Amino acid sequence: MQDVIIIGAGPCGLSAAIECQRRGLHVLVLEKHCLVHSIYSYPTHMQFFSTAEMLSIGDIPFTSSNDKPFRHEALAYYRGVSDFYSVGVASYEEATNIERQADGTFIVSSITRDGQTWEYKTRYVVISTGYFDHPNLLGIPGEDMSKVSHYFREAHPYTGMKVAIIGGSNSAVDAALELMRVGAEVTVVYRGEQLSDSIKPWVKPIFESMVNKGKIQLKLSSRVIEIEPAHVVVESLEYRSTERIPNDFVLALTGFRPDRKLLMQAGVEMSGDMEKPVFNPETMESNVPGLYVAGVIASGRNANEVFIESGREHGKFIAEHIITSLKDN
């Protein structure tokens, strides 16, 4: 029997695994994709908002030649930390169910990429799943067309194309600048009256300059209401008028939401309209004894409520509470 099974091998899940291992607990991490899949899913050339120090886990320094590290540096760093601590990660194995037993232990069911099913008995469970599998859909006609993507990796495939970007956050601004540099005709459509206040301060002036020079079209207080094979239909929220803009591709960068299926199957309660799991912020234990949450899954619909900087500390709270619980029993 395992001491702890952690579901999700992102930075916060790895941090929880390391903290538990350091206290002598036997840990297995189940990850349905690859190690730190959320970071792997970021745009290829993405630069973090945070410093390397704020992204570090397990007391292993994260060194970078830049003030803010890039995606490829983070991937190498987390691989190195995982190897250093010999974290037991079962990659490409998806947890499918969590069932609490009468004796207070858990049975965690899983399935591998080749269809094998497994069951693990464990004293404690930590759910630290991410959110990149579940984009916030627009719910408009044409969203299911092959020209539409909720993910942006790199600009090269869009060279010379007419691209509409839906959104006004860092991901939308970064994508617009990359696309512009490869010769794409870029139109950014955002329902807000101004861009998000969270735009990286070293990026925002560059973006605004490109808009002022006419190299990027920016339509604020607007929304895409329909996607057609060769156009997008954009509605002005201020004037209630519409226009059809020639278009080859749509990047709907509208954010993502955590998957709460496992939580709800295990009996974890959700609070309020934000669908935030009920847990003790001092221990990260949910209303189900022995079941903990770590990282972005602890947030509500606003996935930006928890970042790596704060979520990496959840593992310490969890490990300390588990050790205390074992001593008390």
Q: What structural domains and CATH numbers belong to the chain?
A: 2-133+256-328 (3.50.50.60), 148-252 (3.50.50.60)
Distance (Å, whole) CA 148 – CA 143: 6
Mean pLDDT of 38-43: 92
The pLDDT of residue 317: 95
The pLDDT of residue 274: 59
The pLDDT of residue 310: 79
Label residue 34 exposed, middle or buried (CB < 10 Å: 0-12, 13-18, 19+): middle
| CA 260 and chain centroid, separation | 13
Distance (Å, whole) CA 120 – CA 188: 47
Beta-carbon contacts of residue 249 (< 8 Å; ≥ 6 apart): 147, 148, 149, 158, 161, 162, 163, 164
User: How confident is residue 302, by pLDDT bands cut at 50, 70 and 90?
Assistant: low
Cα R_g (the chain), whole angstroms: 22
The DSSP 8-state label assigned to residue 125 in this structure reads E
Q: Using one digit for the tens of pLDDT, what is the confidence trace for 63-83?
A: 998 889 999 999 999 999 999
Q: Which of residues 310 and 315 earns the better pLDDT score?
A: 315
Residue 225 has pLDDT above 90, yes or no: yes
Residue 138 has pLDDT above 70, yes or no: yes
The pLDDT of residue 276: 86
Residue 304 has pLDDT above 60, yes or no: no
Mean pLDDT of the chain: 92
Mean pLDDT of 154-161: 97
The pLDDT of residue 308: 77
Where do the DSSP E strands lie in the chain? 2-7, 27-31, 89-91, 93-100, 106-112, 117-127, 148-149, 162-166, 185-189, 216-219, 222-227, 231-236, 242-246, 249-252, 270-271, 276-277, 291-293
The pLDDT of residue 327: 81
Residue 303 has pLDDT above 60, yes or no: no
Q: Output the DSSP codes for 160-206.
A: T-EEEEE--SHHHHHHHHHHHHTT-EEEEE-SSSS--TTS-TTTHHH
Residue 37 has pLDDT above 70, yes or no: yes
The least confident of 98-102, 159-163, 187-191, 307-311 is: 307-311
Mean pLDDT of 234-248: 93
Counting residues of the chain whose pLDDT is more than 90, the rounded percentage is 77
> Is residue 219 within 8 Å of residue 264, measured between CB atoms?
no
pTM value is 0.88
Enter the tokens of residue 282.
């001092």
With the C-alpha atoms ordered 171, 39, 309, 303, is the resulting torsion angle positive or negative?
positive
User: How confident is residue 273, by pLDDT bands cut at 50, 70 and 90?
Assistant: low
Residue 118 has pLDDT above 90, yes or no: yes
The pLDDT of residue 325: 85
Mean pLDDT of 165-176: 94
Residue 300 has pLDDT above 70, yes or no: no
Q: Which of residues 100 and 49 earns the better pLDDT score?
A: 100
Beta-carbon contacts of residue 210 (< 8 Å; ≥ 6 apart): 176, 177, 180, 216
